[in-house]
Structure 1
Amino acid sequence: MVDEVTKKTLSNIPLLKTRASPRDGEQWRQRLKEELQALIQYVKNNKDADNDWFRLESNQEGTRWWGKAWTIQDMLRYEFDIEFDIPVTYPMTAPEIAIPDLDGKTAKMYRGGKICMTDHFQPLWARNVPRFGIAHALALGLGPW
């Protein structure tokens, strides 16, 4: 289901401990700190492996995220906007990452440019609640692209 490269990538992203959603006040702030630490480590790992492929930022509450993702093919750089909201049932429910520019252009997309991650990603996410976070979702949802 998950190839060896993806397994190695995931194993180098810190696991999270706090089970909290945006509705959980102080616990959510703790979860957000863990999320940011994992994202920082993931970006560092990618840069060390010369595989830098995204930039991400969020609103103050950490409930809305947006940024850019890119890939290089045939010496051309293709850059796309990415966005997602943290569900109120997070971390039980994974965020739905969207690439609005690709809406309707590939079979791997749902309406609004949301990436199809149901078959392989959702069961893996469910087995790893609350340890997986935003960095893991990016690694599994966009990293293989």
Structure 2
Amino acid sequence: MHNIQPLPHVSHAFSPHLTPLLHPSPSHALMCLSVLYLHYIHSVLDALKWVTPKLGRALWTRVWPFTRKYTMILALDCSPGMLARLFAYVDDGSLKCIVDPNGPFDFSTEGVRAAFEVLQSRRAKGKVVIKIADE
């Protein structure tokens, strides 16, 4: 499990909505995954967890040369702490899902076709939602 804490003095350099994360101990190797997150590697196993998805794409396209070169295998760390933090962001309103203003579409033949037309137009301004049932 990752011990990650916010780094408040850097967060405003990127955006007020972004909080870079940093492990408190400076004795570990530091690897920058993106502008949003800083990640410490504590062991070889941690390094393999970070490198494996990135190498998977390169290995996959060499083993199966007839596949597309942009095949990407993505793995998400779904630890209980990470999910709890995401739910907290949703509860306080700092994490929002952008829904396309044309939707939600009805769960009918016409509604599903209209949703796919929006997807195929590549002009969706968020997630395209099909409403299956009333709450």
Does TM, normalized by the shorter one, top 0.5? no
Bigger RCO of structures 1 and 2 (CA < 8 A, at least 6 apart): 1
Query: More strand by proportion, 1 or 2?
Result: 1
